[in-house]
Structure 1
Amino acid sequence: MSEPREDEQLCAAVISRDASAIERASKELQDNHSSPSFSRATITAIDEMNLEALSHLLQYSPLDEDIAQAAAASESTRVVQLILDQGWDVNRPLCGGQVPSMLRSSFAVRNESYLDWMLAMGANPNATSNLNETALSIAIREGTMKVVKKLLELDIMDTSRGDLLHCAIQREESADTAELIDRLILEKNAQVDAYEYDNDIAGQWRYGFPLRTPLHIACEIMNITAAKALLRHGANARQLKKQCNDLVPPTPLELATDKPDLQALLLA
């Protein structure tokens, strides 16, 4: 049987919400280990919404990405506020750069009041991930239309970043699909045949991969509503993918070879 982890008693005390046990276990961990880790117990306090324990543990635990990510996912302004009060930069990337900032949290792209609060805390909607995605990219792909519209209407929102049109195609097909595509193209100057990740930031990570146009994505996931909207704006059904400096198959039309309804739409 493996030995219990050094922080086992502390995590158990956090779950049981025993303040005196938390204090004792914290002191024992601090005194008995040369490099004690309080990160797991701190994340446990966040998961359990034990704010008293969280405040206590933040005295011991240096902040790290895992703690900040747990705070962002907690859907609690009180938890996030405690983390920010400890000096965490609200715009610092998470998950090794894969997540633009705490603003990208799933709750922020679905809850308008939480988004407002994060913006008031100084969250920058233009902070980017290592694929050049912003909070708006994620909101368009998986958030509510209220949040999408609020971000689109921000004066400081840079809509040239984040492959927004590609994200709109990946959004679950709905009555909003065509309207969102129209708005991105007509109001935000999204290029209908632009390649995904075709920029200096994302290019470092996606170099060598075939890059898709929005219509490629629509055909791959059979988003007929999106395909119709893109074609209405002049999308090229014979556009090849881009790989490094070369153009490579397939085209959207070739992707539709075994999909008669989609093929007919592309040839119309």
Structure 2
Amino acid sequence: MLEILLQGGWDINEAIAWDGPPALADRYLNHISWRLHSRAVEDVVLTDWFLLNGADPNARCGVDLTPLSVAVRDAPLATTRKLVEHGGSVASGQLLHHAVMNNVEDPTELIKYLVCQGSQINAVMYQSCPQSYDKLLGLGFTLGTPLHEAAERGNLSIVRTLVAMGADASIRDSCGDLAEDRARNERHTAVHTFLRSLPVSPVLARL
């Protein structure tokens, strides 16, 4: 069916919606498991077909969200590697923010891989994309660093990994909260205690 659409002039890199990247990242019906919420990037064969037919891992929608963004959130590390090898850029797509949400496998190696590839560990989500930043703020989202997201989710292992790789716990999110504040608000005691135990940055110490 996809091949018929492609032959008929379908743009394989056209966004599905303002907040939905192209079809490589879209949901489809898995005819093996009959799961309605699979994504193309979760299927190795389908991912290969898309890449072979010109799918761009960096194709965006109305915000800085790409097929590679969805892959780091919903697929194994092997898929992320494949998309990067096919031109996927770690400079867009807010990859580390999505990586800490990955429930497919332990995201520790994924996070290390992205940082080694050049992902900015202390970037506030969408800070390099003002249009996306303003759009999400207008919709009521609170935007922070990957450490904020990991702290809010209560994943101590990922929080430790991020800190060990240079995450700055003194950065505040768009509402003025630290990562430790998010952990406290969600009652993740172990994460809050760990973040509170970190040395105070020289800048904060002078305030």
TM-score normalised according to structure 2 size: 0.79
Match of residue 73 from structure 1? none
Match of residue 182 from structure 2? 255
Match of residue 205 from structure 2? none
Letter matched to residue 156 of structure 2? I
The separation in 2 between residues aligned to 1:114 and 1:169, in whole angstroms, is 24
Measured after TM superposition, the shift of residue 105 of structure 1 is 2.3
Match of residue 132 from structure 2? 202
1:147-175 Cα offsets, whole Å, 9 max, x none, are: 12211222x22221100000111111743
Name structure 2 gaps, 5 residues minimum.
28-38, 199-207
Letter matched to residue 90 of structure 1? I
- The answer as to whether partners of 2:154 and 2:183 remain within 8 angstroms in 1 is no
Change (3 A) 1:82 1:174: closer
- Write the mapping of 1:27-106 to structure 2, written as runs, cut at 5 A: 79-95=1-17, 97-106=18-27
State whether structure 2 residue 114 is matched by structure 1 residue 184: yes
Of 171, 187, 209, the match for 2:102 = 171
- The answer as to whether partners of 2:59 and 2:67 remain within 8 angstroms in 1 is yes
The separation in 2 between residues aligned to 1:263 and 1:93, in whole angstroms, is 39
Match of residue 161 from structure 1? 92
Change (3 A) 1:112 1:173: closer
Q: Which has the larger radius of gyration?
A: 1
The separation in 1 between residues aligned to 2:26 and 2:104, in whole angstroms, is 22
1:36-84 Cα offsets, whole Å, 9 max, x none, are: xxxxxxxxxxxxxxxxxxxxxxxxxxxxxxxxxxxxxxxxxxx111112
State whether structure 2 residue 73 is matched by structure 1 residue 141: yes
Letter matched to residue 125 of structure 2? E
Name structure 1 gaps, 5 residues minimum.
1-78, 243-247
The separation in 2 between residues aligned to 1:255 and 1:132, in whole angstroms, is 24
Change (3 A) 1:111 1:221: same
Measured after TM superposition, the shift of residue 241 of structure 1 is 0.9
How many residue pairs match? The answer is 181
RMSD: 1.9
TM-score normalised according to structure 1 size: 0.62
Letter matched to residue 113 of structure 2? R
The separation in 2 between residues aligned to 1:174 and 1:80, in whole angstroms, is 29
Measured after TM superposition, the shift of residue 264 of structure 1 is 2.4
SS in 2 for 1:88: coil
The separation in 2 between residues aligned to 1:210 and 1:222, in whole angstroms, is 17
* Seq. identity, %: 29
- The answer as to whether partners of 2:58 and 2:93 remain within 8 angstroms in 1 is no
